[in-house]
Structure 1
Amino acid sequence: MQGGGVQAVQLVLLLLLVFVVVFGALARRLQTPFPIVLLIAGLALSFIPGIPRVTLDPDFVFFVFLPPLLYAGAWTTSWRDFSYNLVSICSLAFGLVAFTVLGVAFCARWAFGGFDWRLGVVLGAVVAPTDAIAATTIAKRLGLPRRIVDVLEGESLVNDATGLLALEFGIAMVVYGQTPDVGEAALRLCWLIAGGIGIGLVLGRLIEWLELRIDDAPIEITTSILVPYAAYLAAQAVRSSGVLAVVASGLYLSRQSTRFFSPRVRIQIYAVWNALTFILNGVVFVLIGLQLPYVLAGIRGQYGLRALLLYGALFSAVVVLLRLFWVFPGARLAYFIRRRILGQRENTPPARQIFVVGWTGMRGVIALAAALALPQMLSDGRPFPQRNLIIFLTFCVIVVTLVGQGLSLPVVIRALGLAGNEGANCELAEAQRIVLEAALRHIEEGRPRDDPRWAGFYDDLAQHYRERLEALADSPDGNGPEGHRKYVDLLREVMQVERETAIRLRNEGRISDEVLRLIEHDLDLREARMMGGVLE
């Protein structure tokens, strides 16, 4: 690569990171989910003359961005909640994807000139899967009830497999004129699922074995970053689902991580992954917005502006309505299976929660990458029909679902009277109470009865845990009474005095920078635990 090319790439990367930092901070100030702000920022930046043009390479998305983001989503997903909601997740990840593909194929054949069933299936498969990044980021940011977030997380982690399988068969129909065989499709789906999950679990078990034998933070952090790429590439190599391989390895290792991560490594690895996912998420959504000139360039001259706006609005409405049409009977079917077949004690899901699940169907970079990955030519050398229109319609769906539905979600939540995570807060408070009581019992049982020299240590430690229990008992959500908050504020002030004193000693030359960093590290850990609700 020539020097000018290297400098151009460096400039683009630098600008992307600057955009992510600036607009990420703006999103926090506006209290708006950052995917929405970054997408709008990318759209606005695409019109500014002189901004470097960045094309979105589908392979780059699938092999660089997708694995770590899916892995991070799987890592933070509760296996208990995922398995409990598995029927609902499958209803959306398999049933809704198939319903969307068929519904879009029917509507496209009727509404858009030049679309037949085969092209309709391709278009439906491109826009059917929701985006793991967009859906969960927005859902958590808006404080949706935990059950809804669990279902949306699970759906967005799994439905790429069925969507990409449908796209595979759709492309085969268009490019080669093949008619899919139902038996072949079923076997292919089974291999995608079984192969992907199997590879993910085998790799997860191998990494667990390795982690149990090392305790080195840099090595373990690097290994954790390599895992999703290894899972994805291994599954893709045998034509199974790389998506499910990443998800399976993430779920398994997350559940087992308490066995092999030391507290020191856990703190560092979470910090690294938080920064990594923020950067990748931010770059992805800015890149989506920056694709507007390329999308318009591909379609310009073939359709008038009015026709394009009409097509985009009509198609986006169809995609949104198809999801809403499915979720209500799908939720009833899932309820029937859980209660009547699986024997779970389950209440009928409220209609307002079902509606929110239907309204939270954001599309993102996976849909756009799938559209851009469509082949340019058919097997006979003719151009792929309606390729540019498919890309444009996909872009419209992303903007409408992410910006339109994302910005309207707070209004919908307030109108339906849906609360946040009260159940999760109560569960946290109950878990903290049980943990503290167990620690207090251990202190009392271990207290030496015949050696008074250590009595003071045990008394102080026991009193510390009793105070934490009392603070917890005074508040059902575990936030503590006003006096406890005052104690936390005072402790924070005292720790700030410690920091300032250590800095003064360094500035006076009485201690080295290394000693200052050690003191700051200790204070940072104490404050991080305090802010997390666990006081030292």
Structure 2
Amino acid sequence: MGVSPLENIDTILVLLIALLFAVAAVAGLARRFALSYPIVLVVFGLLCSLIPHVPRIPLPPSIVFLVFLPPLLYVAAWQTSWREFRYNLISISSLAVFLVFFTAVGVAFTAKWWLPGFDWRLGFLLGAVVSPTDAVAATSIARKVGMPQRIVDILEGESLLNDATGLLALQFGVQMVVEGTTPSLGRGLLEFAWLTIGGVLVGVVIGFIVSSLERWVDDGPVEIALSLVVPYATYLAADAAKASGVIAVVACGLLMSRRSSTFFSPRTRLQANAVWDALEFLLNGFVFVLIGLQLPYVLAGIKGMSRVGLVGYGVAFSAVLILLRLAWMFPASRAAWWVRTRIAHQQYEQPQANQVFVVGWTGMRGVVALAAADSLPMTLNDGSPFPQRSMILFLTFTLILVTVVLQGLSLPWVIRLLRLQKHDGGYCEEGQARHLMLQAAIDFLTERRISARGEGEVHLYDDLLHQFQHRITSIDLCGPGGESSPSTGNGMTMEGLLLETVRRQRDELNALRENGRIGDSVHRSLERELDLSESRLA
């Protein structure tokens, strides 16, 4: 009997190297032509799957949920602004919780009319499979096309949380089909409450434990290695507690990102960011290429139906999902605005119709939906084959292609047509933060100048004060600025004084974030500048 290619370690290594090279080359070309790389990588994988004799590379659900998902969720949560996430939580919950079940119920009531062999139970299961949106695709494409930050924040928050809701709906759907029973509303609410609350508790506890350990470790490679272990440990711990691993990783990532300013040294933070940027790119690249390569597996189980008919069902199903999301968006956005302004007493402008439409149009699906479809059991309790399993897998695959490729490519055109321009209030926050940081440095130097010894030290303080005062007068309070620190001198006294000044600016920057004056994205941008300055000086 011959040896399967995937059982040969040499073949596996060759395939991994080939995939790595393909991801780097194709993503590089995508960026060269200003295209979103998830779109190009999915298309590349799809085209490769059509080439004869190309080795088939499976994408088991266990690999997705245990290898790819935890670090990708962790880094997405790390990069999310806690202030914006908390501010938009009502709107995010409308999409991440209620829209998921609206989608599942909507598909349950529509699928039985036009999908052969589907009843309302299989329709609910299909809707649960495809309800979660993809964090990577939505964020990458939204940022690439210059979407307003307000919309990007909501899309990021939705895609971080709706995986947990979608997997709960999937659990209910599988139970209804396999066991023939319908879960009660009370049981469903209790399970959802434990998945959410338990996941948050596990994530927060692990976050506090790891951040406390980090204070005792002062070794860059060790700290980076620990940061790589955290998402996997958090996901597995939550899974062992029967809570949501997704929610746990998101909660841990948000907490660790918030506290990283207190336990990472500047040099370690720069190194960790570089490692995580590379890891995120590679994992995302592998995921999107592998999605495209799954076409042979998707088609293998479907018999007795023409390719044209399959494509017709896939396109029609994608249209139904897009229309369901758009139908939810307009009344739900108004309801969320009412709750935020009347009950939560937020200063929040009612979203305009063009903004609501774009959020509804940006419902990309990704690898979680495909893994959920592939995770369906092969048989029922009585041993009979699971009904319509191959069709569910095909419809999910088609929806991913339509939403990532077609909707993703159409987004720039839609934004231009709706005249939805990017108004970046982050520039104003960044300019004001730079001004306050430099003012803190000037106050610090002014205090120290009083106790200066000798004419040489007085001249040193005057020189530095002159440089910082020149910088503060040249700042555009509503525009991007440059480095926060002046150039260093040659002597050790100058370097030491600048080092203390940078640290005083860091204290001011952390205080601005804690007081809610700036968001996490502005904080990370300015913190990186201070890290670079302090690393050079140290």
CA distance in 2, matches of 1:530, 1:318: 49
**Percentage of matched positions with identical amino acids:** 53
Q: Report the residue type matching 2:222 in the other structure.
A: I
Which residue of the partner structure matches residue 146 of structure 1? 149
When normalised by structure 1's length, the TM-score is: 0.88
Unaligned stretches of 5+ residues in structure 2 = 488-527
Q: Report the residue type matching 1:186 in the other structure.
A: L
* Deviations 1:310-335, CA, capped at 9 Å, x for gaps: 10110000001111011111111111
Structure 1 residue corresponding to 2:59, chosen from 33, 56, 60: 56
Q: Report the residue type matching 2:471 in the other structure.
A: R
> For the structure 1 residues 470 and 533, does the alpha-carbon distance in structure 2 shift closer, same or farther, using more than 3 Å as the test?
farther
The reply on whether 1:407 has 2:401 as its aligned counterpart is no
Which residue of the partner structure matches residue 511 of structure 2? none
The alpha-carbon deviation at position 162 of structure 1 amounts to: 0.9
Structure 1 residue corresponding to 2:211, chosen from 208, 211, 214: 208
Which residue of the partner structure matches residue 258 of structure 1? 261
> For the structure 1 residues 441 and 97, does the alpha-carbon distance in structure 2 shift closer, same or farther, using more than 3 Å as the test?
same
CA distance in 2, matches of 1:61, 1:418: 35
CA distance in 2, matches of 1:267, 1:195: 33
> For the structure 1 residues 20 and 437, does the alpha-carbon distance in structure 2 shift closer, same or farther, using more than 3 Å as the test?
same
Structure 2 residue corresponding to 1:158, chosen from 156, 161, 165: 161
* Deviations 1:121-157, CA, capped at 9 Å, x for gaps: 1100000010111111111222211111110000000
When normalised by structure 2's length, the TM-score is: 0.88
Q: Is the 8 A contact 1:58 1:372 kept in 2?
A: yes
The alpha-carbon deviation at position 229 of structure 1 amounts to: 0.4
Structure 1 residue corresponding to 2:345, chosen from 343, 350, 367: 343
Which residue of the partner structure matches residue 442 of structure 1? 444
Which residue of the partner structure matches residue 105 of structure 2? 102
CA distance in 1, matches of 2:246, 2:119: 29
The alpha-carbon deviation at position 302 of structure 1 amounts to: 2.5
Q: Is the 8 A contact 2:135 2:160 kept in 1?
A: yes
2:319 is paired with a residue of what secondary structure?
helix
Worse-superposed segment, 463-472 or 211-220: 463-472
Which residue of the partner structure matches residue 77 of structure 2? 74
The within-5 A match list for 1:389-408 is 389-408=391-410
The within-5 A match list for 1:13-28 is 13-28=16-31
Which residue of the partner structure matches residue 276 of structure 1? 279
Q: Is the 8 A contact 2:179 2:381 kept in 1?
A: yes
Structure 1 residue corresponding to 2:368, chosen from 366, 369, 373: 366
The alpha-carbon deviation at position 214 of structure 1 amounts to: 1.0
The reply on whether 1:331 has 2:350 as its aligned counterpart is no
Which residue of the partner structure matches residue 520 of structure 2? none
Which residue of the partner structure matches residue 174 of structure 2? 171
The alpha-carbon deviation at position 533 of structure 1 amounts to: 11
CA distance in 1, matches of 2:454, 2:480: 36
The within-5 A match list for 1:210-359 is 210-299=213-302, 301-359=303-361
Q: Is the 8 A contact 1:363 1:398 kept in 2?
A: yes
The reply on whether 1:183 has 2:158 as its aligned counterpart is no
Q: Is the 8 A contact 2:71 2:232 kept in 1?
A: yes
CA distance in 2, matches of 1:58, 1:478: 43
The alpha-carbon deviation at position 303 of structure 1 amounts to: 1.1
Structure 2 residue corresponding to 1:89, chosen from 82, 87, 92: 92
Which residue of the partner structure matches residue 454 of structure 2? 451
* Deviations 1:337-374, CA, capped at 9 Å, x for gaps: 11111111222111111111101100000000000111
The alpha-carbon deviation at position 393 of structure 1 amounts to: 0.3
The alpha-carbon deviation at position 529 of structure 1 amounts to: 4.4
Q: Report the residue type matching 2:125 in the other structure.
A: V
Q: Report the residue type matching 1:413 in the other structure.
A: I
CA distance in 2, matches of 1:308, 1:47: 17
* Deviations 1:230-256, CA, capped at 9 Å, x for gaps: 110011112110000000000011111
CA distance in 2, matches of 1:532, 1:350: 41
2:425 is paired with a residue of what secondary structure?
helix
The alpha-carbon deviation at position 457 of structure 1 amounts to: 2.0
* Deviations 1:373-413, CA, capped at 9 Å, x for gaps: 11111111100000000000000100000001100001111
Q: Report the residue type matching 1:30 in the other structure.
A: F
Q: Is the 8 A contact 2:148 2:421 kept in 1?
A: yes
Write out the 4+ residue segments of structure 1 that deviate beyond 6 Å after TM superposition.
1-4, 530-536
Superposed CA RMSD in Å reads 2.1
Which residue of the partner structure matches residue 499 of structure 2? none
CA distance in 2, matches of 1:34, 1:244: 27
Which residue of the partner structure matches residue 387 of structure 2? 385
Q: Report the residue type matching 1:175 in the other structure.
A: V
The alpha-carbon deviation at position 172 of structure 1 amounts to: 0.8
CA distance in 2, matches of 1:227, 1:449: 47
2:474 is paired with a residue of what secondary structure?
helix
2:301 is paired with a residue of what secondary structure?
helix
CA distance in 1, matches of 2:276, 2:320: 37
